[in-house]
Structure 1
């Protein structure tokens, strides 16, 4: 049993490393990373039999909680406030129109009853923010467009979940009253919104006032509040995903202690959850079953991309100031991702007769949408002349360093008695021009370094230096004992 556990751990490590390195290829080819994660799961399905739909759905929902929380924290209210109305129109009317159009075509393509055909439309009705911005990242697209897509992607998931659950109930209980579904919609969205705001404000209050022993516990506390938000909302049958996204918005747009620490943790954790979720979803797919629905899936995917999504966008934005070119890009940028595949597990668990068919078709639609649209969004934006010539607003120094988008890095070094710089003034050290002392922590206080500042044992010195000069920087702190001091040198 121990040997089996060791093998599983080794396999997980290999999958994690391969998935991380694969993101470099996805960025180069303009393809969402989810495609490569799913592909890894599908390859593994040849060697590992996995058919636990309930576990996959649980992992998917947990991953979505983390992803939506991280997305909410990264969303600036200042940016989305001007586009809130069109974004909400896309998230509601747009999803309804997409559901209706796909439902009509699915009825004749798949030969299923009307209620089940509209269920297919509801499942593929929402877009995926992570997929969209993984291919738009770094492009100087009009901020109004990217903010609209961001707000739409964060707020249309609850609508798709509501429609999916409601249509499954309608399939299982055809006598369900329509008015009860309408009341359920307002309850889910309204209460989910209130819980998100309430728990968000409570989290801000506690994070700013509680004194934890380690700064590493603050991101864990924030994630705990996000999970609490979803759980509390789900228990009273309101929209947990909407509540989590709103809670993230409240935290991300508030004065918050350790804001950067929480953001960095969330970003990495969200990536881990995406990798785990899509590999599990890939394991749940049997490639031979995909081949059996290839033409239906491809036809529905094309209809979604060139008919259903554009219809939803153009109707939703009918009375807005978006130009034809902007509406065209918004239509094409409606990539499908995590939510549709997770929602496709609902009919399976509900025991619907066509549950496996729905899952395979939706999986095919998401995969083709990500590959075809993902690789063509950037060229289309260029062709539509929606990519500006001027650079976007400059990110902060800490953002550049934290995201690894610069050749420089921050290091913090604990000063010990035996180090050659201990007890010396900074001016006497002879620092190279491109190595800079930025701050000194001494007795829980911050000291601004000047030429006359003396480096004392017990100090923690923060150093900004080029990555190529890492060894030269470390040589400054090394004692005659060789590399003994390196254990106190670590990157920020």
Structure 2
């Protein structure tokens, strides 16, 4: 069948269908969805010849912008504040230590030079935001550990990019000034942090002040800010990925017009980009070439999972208040994903002699990491006593259609079995003034709220309130939990 425009569009739609449906299999088998997306790409590579590393790198970076933006939006600042020090230590010192251990190993296993070995270590040195966000998103592991892993994965990509580009530069230009590279690192990180926060403030102000004719344009405006943040920071030689994550962190923790619309749009868009990115990465690899580097891939994967990552975690968090079990889980949950594969295209595009070897081995390492570590995170967390059982629904905000022109919003609150509201009548709740419970969802049925309506665990309440009261309403439920627990004690 010739590849006409219509056939290509048909193939695009089929890939999206396959990507969506494979997420059901990933949930059933406990495997990260990226494994199935990559598998689809590898199967298609038998029928479609694709070797455009430049296009893959471009699409991969665009996908990472979207994924990091969505991940930053979903991250709560109060959780980040508690784990900022260990996360940054893991994202810097942890990545460097992992790079060194794997770099030395790769020098002998792949029979390459010392600098090339370090280049390989830098490529696989960081965890992947897409993989970590996807795997941890539906698991109720202790919040401190989840936050540490998510913030680490969102902030360690710049370090991996810097090390990868620096080693390529040192290989191609042996006389490069190392002192200049070190100054470049601080410039990239500092500028990425500063511009991310600055553009995040500008984005919040613009989204809240502008009055667009269609509510559907607000998510597009937010995404435009994310892409602009990356590109403008990169043009100034800063870390664009770090800037995007910091910008999203600021936006996600601000009082935002059409907040729910922006969040849901970016969640769906991030899934679409993730599906297409991993399928495209799967297309770029040739399965027959993976067979030729099987033992090297297995050896480096084992060393990464059982030696390099644990060394990086235990040393970089040596002075942190983590137990040995918590450090073990952090070590095991350091998933590799799209970032190492995208970084593996850098040597290819640089025309390096071992570029194809690095790409194939990196692909093997990522696939084994996703298959082995991704599938065993939940059982390990449960075995170590770090799982908190079933994950509760996180409250979020829904907007009125015309909220851009009003000062009200709808707050969604979930009543769990430990909530003080469980078993109480609505009139017994001390809700903020001018707030009103509009609807109660119980077992997928809507109940009309009345004063004598008794709440039950599992209920979802939709509360109409003035903007700015949402935290007060959520705190009311949290306070009731505390009071009830104190009474029981």
Q: Same fold (TM over 0.5)?
A: yes
Q: Is the 8 A contact 1:192 1:243 kept in 2?
A: yes
Q: Does 1:79 align with 2:76?
A: no
Q: Please list, as runs of the form range in 1=range in 2, the aligned pairs for 1:135-154 lying within 5 A after superposition.
A: 135-154=135-154
Task: Summarize the alignment of residues 47-196 of structure 1 with structure 2, pairs less than 5 Å apart.
Answer: 47-196=47-196
| 1:61-460 matches, cutoff 5 A | 61-388=61-388, 394-396=393-395
In structure 2, do the counterparts of structure 1 residues 339 and 397 end up closer, same or farther at CA, with 3 Å as the change threshold? closer
Cα distance, 1:27 vs structure 2? 1.4
- Give yes or no for contact 2:68–2:129 (8 Å, CA) kept in 1: no
- Please give the alpha-carbon distance, in whole angstroms, between the structure 2 residues aligned to 1:285 and 1:157: 22
DSSP-derived class of the 1:375 partner: helix
Give the TM-score normalised by the residue count of structure 1.
0.80
| Residue 321 to residue 357, structure 1, CA distance change in 2 (3 Å) | same
Q: Name whichever of 3-12 and 224-233 sits farther off.
A: 3-12
> CA–CA distance in 2 between the matches of 1:99 and 1:36?
28
TM-score normalised by L of structure 2: 0.81
With over 3 angstroms needed to count, the CA separation of the structure-2 counterparts of 1:73 and 1:2, relative to structure 1, is same
CA-CA distance at 1:131 after TM superposition: 1.9
Give 1:36 shift.
Answer: 0.7
Q: 1:398 and 1:465, CA in 2 relative to 1: closer, same or farther beyond 3 A?
A: farther
State the alpha-carbon separation in 2 of the partners of residues 229 and 87 from structure 1.
23
Query: Are the structure 2 counterparts of residues 121 and 192 from structure 1 closer, same or farther at C-alpha, using a change threshold of 3 Å?
Result: same
Give the CA deviation at 1:388. 2.8
Aligned pair 1:44/2:44, yes or no?
yes
How has the CA–CA distance of structure 1 residues 25 and 228 changed in structure 2, closer, same or farther, with 3 Å as cutoff?
same
Deviates more, 1:91-100 or 1:249-258: 249-258
Give structure 2 stretches of 5+ with no counterpart.
402-433, 447-489
- SS of residue in 2 equivalent to 1:46: coil
Q: 1:447 to 1:183 in 2, by over 3 A?
A: closer
> Residue 46 of structure 2: SS of its match in structure 1?
coil
* Structure 1 residue 14: Cα displacement: 1.1
With over 3 angstroms needed to count, the CA separation of the structure-2 counterparts of 1:282 and 1:449, relative to structure 1, is: closer
Per-residue Cα deviation, 1:94-136 (whole angstroms, up to 9, x for no partner):
0000000000000000000000100000000111233234333
Max radius of gyration: which structure?
1
Distance, in Å, in 1 between the alignment partners of 2:221 and 2:82 is 31
In 1, Cα distance between the equivalents of 2:265 and 2:291? 39
Q: In the aligned structure 2, how far is the partner of 1:393 from the partner of 1:377? A: 19
Q: Within 2, Cα distance between the matches of 1:388 and 1:130?
A: 23
1:324 Cα deviation from its structure 2 partner? 0.3
**8 Å Cα contact 1:30/1:135 also seen in 2:** no
Which runs of no fewer than 5 residues in structure 1 stay unpaired?
A: 403-409, 412-445, 451-461, 470-492
Q: Does structure 2 conserve the Cα–Cα contact (< 8 Å) formed by 1:129 and 1:149?
A: no
Please report the RMSD computed on the Cα atoms of aligned residues, expressed in angstroms.
2.4
- Is the alpha carbon distance of 1:369 and 1:3 closer, same or farther for their aligned partners in structure 2, counting shifts above 3 Å? closer
Any conservation in 2 of the 1:100–1:118 contact (CA below 8 Å)? Answer: yes
Aligned equivalents of 1:133 and 1:5: distance in 2?
34
Moved over 4 A (4+): 391-394, 446-450, 462-469
Q: Determine if contact 2:67/2:129 at 8 Å carries over to the other structure.
A: no
CA distance in 1, matches of 2:331, 2:436: 51
8 Å contact from structure 1 (residues 136, 378) kept in 2: no
C-alpha change, 1:56 and 1:151, in structure 2 (3 Å) is: same
Match of 1:7 in 2: 7
Call closer, same or farther: CA 1:306–1:85 in 2, change over 3 Å.
same
Q: Does structure 2 conserve the Cα–Cα contact (< 8 Å) formed by 1:27 and 1:134?
A: no
Instruction: Give the secondary structure class of the aligned counterpart of 1:174.
Output: coil
Paired residues of 1:337 and 1:370 also in contact (CA < 8 A): yes
1:321-356 per-position Cα deviation (integer Å, ceiling 9, x unaligned): 100000000000000011000000000000010000
State whether residues 27 and 135 of structure 1, in contact with CA within 8 Å, keep that contact through their aligned partners in structure 2: no
CA gap of 1:233–1:137, structure 2 versus 1, over 3 A, is: closer
Structure 1 residue 142 displacement after superposition: 1.2
